[in-house]
Homo-oligomer: A and B are copies of this chain.
Amino acid sequence: MVPAGGVGSRLWPLSRPERPKFLLDLIGAGSTMLQDTVQRLRPVAEETLIVTGERHVAAVQAQLPTLPADSILAEPTPRDSMAAIALAAAVIEHRLGPRVMGSFAADHVIAVPRALRDAVRLAAAAAADGMIATIGIDPTGPSTAFGYIEFGERYGQGVRRVRAFTEKPDAESARVMVDRGGYAWNAGMYVARTDVLLDHLERLQPTLHAGVRRIAESWDGPNRATVMAEAWPLLTKISIDHAIAEPVAAEGGVVVVPASFGWHDVGDFASLAEITPADADGITRIGVHGSVVAVDAARPVVVGARKAVAIVGLDDVVVVETADALLVMHRSAAQRVKDVVPPLS
């Protein structure tokens, strides 16, 4: 199951509320983030479910034309990741009985899909044994942008128990963890049996569990709209990390498959530029259709421009052009882009 949510507001003006990051071909691959996500997991998936906002159902359907219509679950409003994942688990159980289910965000770049699938198979095996399994990313540096997963004892070949999840660290803590080893980045990839997941949920978040079960029972019947209108707005807003991963890890019920598969979150233009090689003239062009000239300007990044672009006397500048908007920023300010969205989006 693929939770396809979030605007990606640090990628404005490419991403918009009506055209969120997962619907975009962000890296110019010829396919969108959502299409890539589904495509790379197809070899290990019996069924694919997408959970997305009501306003994006038509776009998701258009991007995944072979997906059956009832494989897209529409959320009237976002209720955080636990509600989305639990809804998918409960609908699957109601339709098919218990199954091993993996949850994979719709807006990540993965350079080596085969390595991801190898990790998914290891995680699925542990999940079949009743564990909540997560796939952790081998850190490539002391990033402060992600939570970290601390390894416990060995669980099996290539699989460790999880001792604890930590929130996004400060720079010093990140440095210590990466130097010491025994940690992975938390990319929010979880694999579990639907019955195991829902049993944990019943125990740890009983209200959320009851609401999701009730919704799932009515999902494929005539009362879905009525039940959704009543029950969905009352679902607890909580992430799967806080609702299940952290408490169950403390009980010894979570394992991690550490892996490297060229994973990138691509949360902002600085990280988008990082994974895109510069051209011979030192200019990084992403989806650019016109000429770009730099004068006294080191390491420029130009995204999406259809016009002739000149950058003069500014180092590390990022220029993003869309049909109706223009972003000009310093690469180091990539995180601040979300602050322009309320006035302009």
A308 within 8 A of B: yes
A318, closest chain B residue (CB): B312
Q: Give the total of A residues in contact with B, Cβ under 8 Å.
A: 35
Residues in B with CB closer than 8 Å to A225 are: none
Q: Mark A308-345, 1 if CB is under 8 A from B, else 0.
A: 11111110010101111111111011001101100110
State whether A309 touches B330 (Cβ < 8 A): no
A13 within 8 A of B: yes
| Chain A 218-264 residues near chain B, CB threshold 8 A | none
State whether A340 touches B295 (Cβ < 8 A): yes
State whether A330 touches B314 (Cβ < 8 A): yes
Give complex CA distance A307, B340 in Å. Answer: 14
* Residue in B311, B317, B340 whose CB lies within 8 Å of A310: B340
Give complex CA distance A295, B326 in Å. Answer: 14
A313, closest chain B residue (CB): B333
| Chain A 257-307 residues near chain B, CB threshold 8 A | 291, 293, 295-296, 305, 307
A12 within 8 A of B: yes
A309-B333 contact in complex given A293-B343, A295-B339, C-beta closer than 8 Å: no
Residues in B with CB closer than 8 Å to A326 are: 305, 307-310, 319, 321, 326
A272 → chain B closest CB, angstroms: 15
State whether A328 touches B309 (Cβ < 8 A): yes
Residues in B with CB closer than 8 Å to A343 are: 291, 293
A336-B291 contact in complex given A307-B324, A310-B325, A319-B326, C-beta closer than 8 Å: no
Give complex CA distance A312, B332 in Å. Answer: 10
State whether B328 touches A310 (Cβ < 8 A): yes
| Chain A 1-33 residues near chain B, CB threshold 8 A | 12-13
Q: List the 8 closest A-B pairs by CB distance, nearest first.
A: A313-B333, A312-B329, A313-B330, A310-B340, A308-B325, A308-B344, A309-B326, A312-B333
